Structures are given as C-alpha cells and as structure tokens.
Amino acid sequence: MLPGAQPIVYLMPQAEDWSPVDGAVIEETAVCLFVNGREMVTLMASPIEVEALALGFLYTEGFIHSMDDVAALELSRQGACVDVWLHSDDMPQPRRVIRTSGCSGGVTFDDLTAAREPTPVRATLTAQQVIDRYFDLRSIEQLYPLARGVHGSALCTADDLLLWTEDVGRHNTLDKLAGKALQQHIPTGDRAIVTTGRISSEMLGKAAKLGVSVIASRTSPTHRSVALAHAWNITIIGYIRRDSFRLYTAPSRIVPADPAFAAIAATQAAPSQPDPAPK
C-alpha cells in the first residue's frame, strides 16, 4: 500500500446481498508545527512530505523567505510533529487565525485584503499547453487512482511539470509545492500551477506568495478569488477539459494558438459537464 493510504474492506450492494471488496482510503493525520519551540498550528494533512508541508506553510504565511532562514528541521518519530528552528527568534507573531474553506479545515494567518503588487505579464502559455500540463498531472497521480479523496497540484512551465504533490487538503498541496521548491532551490516566480482543487481565496493567496502568474483547475474559482485575481493580475482558469476551459482573469497570458480555442472565453456561460470520477 502506498504511503498516504490505508487498506480497507468495504461492502458493495449486489442483488439482495452485500459483496466485500478490498480497497483503500486516504490517510489523514494531525500535523503539529512548532517554531522555535513554540506550537504554532495543527494542520490536518496527508502524512507524506510533511517536512515540505511545514516549510511551505511558513513560507506562504510569510514567516520565512528562504531556506537561509531555517537553522534546523526535525520530524518526530511518528511523523506527527515538525519542529522548525529559525536563525532568528524575532519571528512576527501570527495575526488572527482565519478558518479557510479547505476540505480539511485549513487555517491561514494571511490577510488577503492587504495591498499586493500586481503580477507582471512575462511568460505566456498556449491554451493547449494549459490543458496538456493539467493532464500530465492527472497521469502521474498515485493516491487518487488508488483511493480517491485526495487533491493533486503541480508547479509547471509551459512545457514541463517541475514539482507535483498530493494531499487530502487542496491548500496543503500548494504549501507542499512551496516547501519542495525551497528544498530543491527551484524558482517559483512567473510559473503556473495546475490543480484538481477549487480555486478559493486562500489558494490564490498562496499562489500569489509563490509569484505564480497562472493557476488552473478542473473545477471553479470563487467570487472572491476572481476579484483578488483581477487586483493582483493573476490568470485564473477553471473547468479544464480535454478540449476546453474557462478563462476568468488576466487573459493576455494565454494564447489561443489553435483556432478551436479562440472562443474559449465565450464558453464561460455554458454549463460544464463533471469529470467522470470527480473528487
């Protein structure tokens, strides 16, 4: 069984009886994050790539800016607690905790109403590249085909996936991408993120902290994330399918190279068919 999933026997109805089936369910655990010996937060997450989750959370919440800020990181033997020691003890105190709309009860200290510089337009992607990168992610997911109930996200360029991860919480996937990028010294600015999760305001806030210019999903954004994306000049794409998607904000980064995509923006009003196996 893959790490992050647990075996289970469930029942399926069959005629007038029940049929037992060997399957799997996604594992979820409470991960306690301590900074300089003080407990900061408990995150509900998949128990994989926990170090990256901790580092990424500290980065997207503004407590660290690079690995140079980190003196040491220790993971408990059971993997349920992460101790991060910073070179400076002069860490800003967390602002009020905001309960997010994350499916695992996410939290953020970030004030999304704070002023933020708009993201400049540099790199562009074609419509087909957006679709290709999303389905590249779907093709390498491991936990979702096994047990469902999990989200995937990837950091990418127009041509390649740079990093990818899975977690029971969609916002955790962006923290894990941030942490892995820190660990591997991979620049995140002006990249794109493809994800299976809803693009909520906290997802957009984390993407903005990474300097990402495009975030694309198989599902929808929220009204607030669209408003913030307009202000921050971040491109939001939703409802990715094999031959279409909906482009909500900052369209200048996306080039409809194929004439078949020229009318993508006009399809926003059309109802979208769900994935065959939605999460």
Q: Tokens 């399918």 correspond to what residue?
A: 241
CA distance linking residue 58 with residue 52, whole number of Å: 10
Q: CA-to-CA distance for 105 and 242, rounded, in angstroms? A: 31
Catalytically annotated residue among 32, 81, 103, 156:
103
Residue-by-residue DSSP string for 90-142: -PPPP---EE---TT--EE---TTS--PPPP----EEHHHHHHHHHHHHHH-S
**Is 239 exposed, middle or buried (CB count within 10 Å of its CB: 0-12, 13-18, 19+)?**
buried
**Neighbouring-strand partners of residue 24:** 7
Strand partners, 25: 6
Q: Which of 239, 150, 250 is nearest to 194 (CA)?
A: 239
Tokens 């999304």 belong to which residue?
Answer: 112
CB 221 within 8 A of CB 214: no
Determine the length of the chain: 279
81 catalytically annotated: no
Cα 184–Cα 95–Cα 166 angle in degrees, nearest 5: 35
Cα–Cα distances in Å, from 182 out to 112, 151, 163, 171, 218?
A: 23, 21, 11, 17, 26
| Residues carrying an active site annotation | 103
